[in-house]
A = this chain, B = another copy of it.
C-alpha cells in the first residue's frame, strides 16, 4: 500500500491518526530550515508541515513532483482554518517524507488554473495540462455524461452495439472520408454507425452506442473536430415523436446526473446556471416563423442561437423538416415518396444543434424512390437497400456528439477543450 489516505480526504475527526499521503506538489514553501508543502491529488489537497531534518533530506521540491509523506494529523486552531481547502481544518505533521519522482524544471507549460499558455501549446503537453483542476473538471463531467447516457438506456433494456470503425464504403454516401490501407484493400474510417445501428434495430429492436467517428473536413474552427465520439440510438417501432421523447428524457437525465455528482467540477468551471432541460417541440414551419427564416432552408448558426435564446436551458426540437433538406433515408411524411415534409428533426441545445435524427425508411422501394429524388444512384446503395428486404420494421434514431455536449455543459469556447486528445486539421499528436 503506497498511501493510506487520499490527499483531499482528511478531516478534523482524523486528528491523531498516523497517515501516509502520496500526491503531486502544488507548492513547497521553505521558511528558514522548515517547510510547508501543499500536496494534492484528484480528491483535493492537504498542507503538510515538514520539520528541519526532513526539509534538509528532501531539499526544495519542484511543483508537480510526486512526494510521499507520512505524518500525524493535527487539528488547526479555529482561527487558522484554511477555508480554501476541503482539508483546511487539519494539517499533517510529517514524520517522514520522500520524493518519489522529481519534476524537471521549468515546466514546459504553465499549469496554473488561469494558465498563460495558449491552447495549442497546452495540447502539445496534454499530459501536464491534465494536472490542472479545470481540465480534470471537464473530463469528470464528460465521464458523467457518457455514463448517464448509457445507464439511462441500459435500464430501458437497450442493447449496447459495437459498430465497426473500418468500413468498405461511405455509410451515408458522403465525401470527406479518411482512407485506410487494409492489407491489399482500400478501406475507410466510419463517418457514422448509421447502417449498422439500423441493422441492429431491425433485429434486436433497441440499441445504443458511444463510438468514435471521423470526418475528413478541412475546416478548422472552434466547432470542428476530425475525430469525435457519437452517442447513438436506434429503435424499432419508434416514430419521429417517440424518438425525440427519448432524447428529451436522456438529456434531462444526463444533466441531472452532472448536477447531482459534479457540483465541485461545475463550480471550478464557473457554471452556475445549469438547469434540467425540458423539451420544446416546434414544427419546422413554426420555428422558421419565429426567426423569420426562409422556408426550405437549413437553420443558420445565428438562427440556432436565436431559437435557443427563446427557451433558455431547454432542448428545442425543430421537427418535421422538408424532405428536400434531410438525408435520403429519412422517412417522408405518411410514407409517400413525394411528401413535402419528413419525419426528420434537429435538436438544439445551448445555442447549437446537438442532434439530428428521425424516422428512417424501412421500405426498399420507397428508399430507391427517395435516392432518385436526391439525384443519387440506387445501385451505389444496393447493400443498404437490400438489408431492408427480409423483414425490416419501422425504426428511428438520432445521435449526439459527446464532445459538443461536453462543450455546452462546461461552457467551453472551443470544442477541442472538451476533447481529451483532439484531432484537427493539423494535429494528430500526442
Contact = CB atoms under 8 A, between A and B. Distances in A.
A239 to B, nearest CB: 7
B237 A3 contact: yes
A165 B195 CA distance: 21
A343 interface: no
B214 A166 contact: yes
A202 B127 contact: yes
Nearest to A389: B104
A362 B142 contact: no
Interface string A261-293: 000000000000000000000000000000000
Interface stretch (A177-185, A345-353, A372-380): A177-185
A164 B227 contact: yes
B162 A390 contact: no
Interface centre among A139, A164, A203, A393 (most CB of B within 10 A): A203
Given A41-B205, A182-B428, A428-B167, A126 B199 contact: yes
A354 interface: no
Interface string A117-138: 0000000001110110000100
A162 B213 CA distance: 12
Contacts of A161: 420
A32 B179 CA distance: 58
Interface stretch (A69-77, A81-89, A146-154): A146-154
Interface string A41-64: 110000000000000000000011
Contacts of A162: 142, 146, 212, 229, 402, 419-421
The listed residue with most B CB atoms (<10 A of its CB), out of A66, A187, A229, is A66
A231 to B, nearest CB: 12
Interface in A400-430: 402, 419-421, 423, 425, 428-430
A388 B214 contact: no
A203 B3 contact: no
B143 A195 contact: no
A168 B65 contact: no
Instruction: Choose among A64, A103, A143 the residue with the greatest number of B CB atoms under 10 Å from its CB.
Output: A143
Contacts of A390: 64, 103-104, 107-108, 127-128
Given A183-B425, A239-B2, A165 B168 contact: no
A383 B150 contact: no
A391 B199 contact: no
Given A103-B389, A203-B136, A22 B428 contact: no
Interface of A: 1-3, 22-25, 41-42, 63-66, 100-101, 103-104, 107-108, 126-128, 130-131, 136, 139-140, 142-143, 146-147, 150-151, 154, 159-168, 178-183, 185, 187, 189, 195-196, 199-200, 202-206, 211-212, 214, 216, 218, 226-227, 229, 236-237, 239, 242, 362-363, 383, 387-394, 402, 419-421, 423, 425, 428-430
22 contacts: A2-B237, A3-B237, A42-B204, A66-B362, A101-B388, A101-B392, A108-B390, A127-B387, A128-B390, A136-B204, A142-B162, A150-B150, A165-B227, A166-B226, A168-B429, A178-B180, A179-B180, A179-B181, A182-B226, A199-B430, A200-B420, A383-B430
Closest 3 CB pairs of A and B: A130-B203, A64-B391, A127-B199
